[in-house]
Structure 1
Amino acid sequence: MKLKSASIILLLAWSLAPLLWQLYTSFSTDQALVTPFETMANRWTLEHYRSVISANPPFFLYLINSLFVGILATLLTLIIALPAAYSLSKLSTTKSNLIRIILVGCALFPYVLLFLALLEIARALSLGNNLFALALPYTALSQPLAILLLGSAFTSIPPELDDAARVEGLTLINRFRWIYIPLLAPAIASTAILVFLFSWNEYPIALTWISETSKLTLPVAMARIAGSSIHSVPYGAYAAATVLGAIPLILLVIVFQKPIVSGLTSGAVKG
């Protein structure tokens, strides 16, 4: 029992150490960061947060941009992936397994290799500096994993339930509204979180598609903060931006904790 408790403590320490260090750095003065064991006076400051919040454009504008792109990409992904996953669950076992193998390959394919092709498409279609357009490649890149997760969830629905709904005269749209979406809410929530996190953290595409400062997403804006000086790295400001950027994700996980855990563990045990 003691070994189990010690293992849990070590795991928590390993997981929380980067966040705690960033939190410490964001409140520490530059002098305290340079000589952490020597200076005790004037160790703590809010100046890093003031500099980030009072920046021009405001730092919260980048949060709004990332939220907009992430939410839009998540909604578009679910709108496309839900019908596709339903169709996948209705195929024969041979066809379904073949398509799943293809989807796994697409999900594991390093999307960075598509970087130049996506950039040329953006240039040809004038998609640069458009947050709505930025959500499109995120939607496409998220489809394989979303279809796989939702397809597995659809297979857990008894076929008799679908047959009964057809007998009652429910259309496909009504079956999705009244049966599938309520039953698959945990799986949909976990899939939505994964898609949102990918869109929130994505950097290479956002870096090249968006050049206007007011339309930057959070990862690109934070990279600019880290490289804002050629003489020194603004560790405090970068840490403060990291903490502020992590707050929406922490709140999101706290609010949707139960459906996320339920969705990720659904189908793991069959009784």
Structure 2
Amino acid sequence: MKSRTLPILILVLWSSAPLLWQLYTSFSTDQALVTPLAQLADRWTLEHYRSVISSNPPFFLYLLNSFFVGALSTLFTLLIALPAAYSLSKLSTAKSNIIRIILVGCALFPYVLLFLALLEIARSLSLGNNLFALALPYTALSQPLAILLLGSAFSSIPSELDDAARVEGLSLWNRFRWIYIPLLAPAIASTAILIFLFSWNEYPIALTWISDQSKLTLPVAMARIAGSSVHSVPYGAYAAATVLGAIPLIVLVIVFQKPIVSGLTSGAVKG
């Protein structure tokens, strides 16, 4: 047992090293960051957090903007992906395999190549500086992965269950409400978290679509906080903003830990 503990501890430390370094940076004075091994009387400080929290507009407004866009894009994606994934699971094997290959190609396509075209669309339709509109490209970009994940989950449901529900006279809406959604709750939860994380962390589209300071999402706002300029980089303030921005995601993952793990591992073991 001890022989397994050491590799696990090494893996945990290796994985958590970036977060630990951000924590250290966020609480360190500028002098301590320049000379990390020196003995300094004033090594620790809360000034970086004060500068971030006291920013104008308030830093927590950026958190709310990111949460709003992430929640909206997650909702839109699931509303479209769930019926699409159900339809995909009902196709013949040959047709579904072709569509899955196309979806994989779309999911792997580097979306940053599209953001200039999306910017032109935003300009022509006057969608700039609109958080509701910002959720639309996130919804479109999240569809391939969401359909693939949910399609695999739908395929795991026995067809006899669907046939029995039809015999009982349940409509498609009632089958979704009473059968599919309860059975696929872990898969839906894990898919929703992945979509939300993508929307929360997305940068290029948010940078080009939003210029109003009060409507910036967190990744864009972090690039403009604490007086950053060409001549100085506030590493401590960046680290403090990173830590504060990661707290909602950590809480979200902890709260939904069981359905996420269950959804991601469903189908991994059969028999």
Deviation at 1:5, TM superposition (A): 2.0
TM-score norm. by structure 1 comes to 0.98
- 1:37 corresponds to which residue? 37
Runs of 4+ in structure 1 deviating by more than 4 angstroms, as ranges, are none
The alignment status of 1:23 with 2:23, answered yes or no, reads: yes
- 2:238 corresponds to which residue? 238
Is the CA contact (8 Å cut-off) linking 1:127 and 1:209 kept in structure 2?
A: yes
1:65-214 equivalent positions in 2, closer than 5 A: 65-214=65-214
Is the CA contact (8 Å cut-off) linking 2:55 and 2:226 kept in structure 1?
A: no
RMSD: 1.1
Deviations 1:188-218, CA, capped at 9 Å, x for gaps? 0000000000000000000000000000000
Deviations 1:147-167, CA, capped at 9 Å, x for gaps? 000000001111111111111
Q: Write the letter of the residue equivalent to 1:126.
A: S
Aligned mates of 1:227, 1:199 — CA distance in 2:
26
TM-score norm. by structure 2 comes to 0.98
Q: Write the letter of the residue equivalent to 1:209.
A: W
Aligned mates of 2:51, 2:4 — CA distance in 1:
44
> SS of 1:225's equivalent?
coil
* Unaligned runs of at least 5 residues, structure 1: none
Aligned mates of 2:15, 2:224 — CA distance in 1:
26
Query: Structure 1 residues 118, 227: CA separation in 2 closer, same or farther (over 3 Å shift)?
Result: farther
Is the CA contact (8 Å cut-off) linking 1:85 and 1:151 kept in structure 2?
A: yes
Deviations 1:197-251, CA, capped at 9 Å, x for gaps? 0000000000000000000000001112377233321111111000000000000
- 2:261 corresponds to which residue? 261
> SS of 1:208's equivalent?
helix
Is the CA contact (8 Å cut-off) linking 1:31 and 1:39 kept in structure 2?
A: no
Aligned mates of 1:248, 1:168 — CA distance in 2:
43
Deviation at 1:3, TM superposition (A): 4.1
> SS of 1:20's equivalent?
helix
Aligned mates of 1:38, 1:17 — CA distance in 2:
21
* Unaligned runs of at least 5 residues, structure 2: none
- 1:217 corresponds to which residue? 217
> SS of 2:270's equivalent?
coil
Q: Write the letter of the residue equivalent to 1:139.
A: T
Aligned mates of 1:47, 1:128 — CA distance in 2:
34
Structure 1, 107-116 or 127-136: larger mean CA deviation = 107-116
Is the CA contact (8 Å cut-off) linking 2:65 and 2:131 kept in structure 1?
A: yes
Is the CA contact (8 Å cut-off) linking 2:65 and 2:216 kept in structure 1?
A: yes
Aligned mates of 1:254, 1:8 — CA distance in 2:
20
Aligned mates of 1:234, 1:39 — CA distance in 2:
22
Deviations 1:129-156, CA, capped at 9 Å, x for gaps? 0000000000000000000000000011
Aligned mates of 1:147, 1:231 — CA distance in 2:
46
Aligned residues: 271
Structure 1, 135-144 or 33-42: larger mean CA deviation = 33-42
Is the CA contact (8 Å cut-off) linking 1:74 and 1:196 kept in structure 2?
A: yes
